[in-house]
Structure 1
Amino acid sequence: MPVISLFYAGLLGVLYLVLAYGVIVVRRRERVGIGHGDSKALAIAVRIHGNFAEYVPFLLLMLLMMELVGANPILLHALGAGLFIGRILHALGLKQSAGTSVPRFVGMLLTFVVLLFSAGYLIGFAVARMWGG
């Protein structure tokens, strides 16, 4: 049973709900039903939520695949925690400033490190199995 990836899927699912709620709150405050109108705050909330939705499902799938092929639990926790912390930092940084900010930069950097490392691990595992037995 892939309990580590399930744990991070649960944590990230809660974070997704928090971000979705943030969009709803701003929509109600700004009275915008579709799109973001002229509201910069709503545009930011929508992008925070959208960016999460663009990266997290694929990264969770990669984490699950790594766990299913027997990746080290410490590595899986490091990647899962990095993704979770990265997504929080990205959201806080973007909420702080629509431009660049340290939390936003570090959040995306963590997300990209998790993506790159997971991709490398899965490619390496597959190549070793295909050509190494």
Structure 2
Amino acid sequence: MDLIPAGHALALWSALHLLLLLGLSLLVVRQRRRHGVALGDGGVAELACAIRAFGNASEYIPMGLVGLTALTLAGAPDLAVHIGGLVLFTGRVAHAIGLSRSGEASPLRAAGVAATWAAYIFLAVALLFYALP
């Protein structure tokens, strides 16, 4: 079986997204220990923000990785996988930082949402391009 050329790009972006999710989950655990809250957010704003930062990343990253995987399997070039992975990762990091600092609207949160949606649109269009004969 031949190796998929974009497979290394997919592996890179998958690993970075997994590390991001792990880091965000560790922030939740740290806040839980700091405030002695075992379940829920206990009314602690910092914990609520950490929970939502992890939750939001958990909601958006999986489908982004599915898109990157499908793009790789469709035979897209490395560059396409790198673009999708980079934009998604940058968006998720920006959003997580913005949301971790405050539950209020912020430029980082807005940029993170915009980059995430841009990655989704890029992946959808690229997948349609590679899906059509």
Q: Do both share a fold (TM > 0.5)?
A: yes
Range that drifts further, 90-99 or 41-50: 90-99
Q: 2:128 corresponds to which residue?
A: 123
Q: 1:114 corresponds to which residue?
A: 119
Look up the equivalent residue of 2:58 and give its one-letter code. Answer: A
Where in structure 1 do 4 or more consecutive aligned residues deviate above 3 Å?
Answer: none
Matches within 5 A, 1:19-30: 19-30=24-35
Q: 1:88 corresponds to which residue?
A: 93
Cα distance, 1:72 vs. partner?
A: 2.2
Q: How many residues align?
A: 128
Alpha-carbon separation, structure 2, partners of 1:19 and 1:4: 23
Look up the equivalent residue of 2:88 and give its one-letter code. Answer: L
Q: 2:105 corresponds to which residue?
A: 100
Identity, % of aligned positions: 34
Alpha-carbon separation, structure 1, partners of 2:59 and 2:86: 18
Look up the equivalent residue of 2:51 and give its one-letter code. Answer: V
Uncovered stretches (5+) of structure 1, i.e. residues with no partner: none
Q: CA RMSD in A?
A: 1.1
Normalised to the residue count of structure 1, the TM-score between the two structures is 0.91
Q: Deviations over 1:72-92 (max 9, x none)?
A: 211211111111111110011
Normalised to the residue count of structure 2, the TM-score between the two structures is 0.91
Higher relative contact order (CA 8 A, sep 6+): 2
Q: Deviations over 1:47-105 (max 9, x none)?
A: 00000000101110110110111112112111111111111100111122211111111
Alpha-carbon separation, structure 2, partners of 1:111 and 1:9: 15
Q: Is 1:72 the counterpart of 2:77 in the alignment? A: yes
From 55, 59, 66, give the equivalent of 1:54: 59
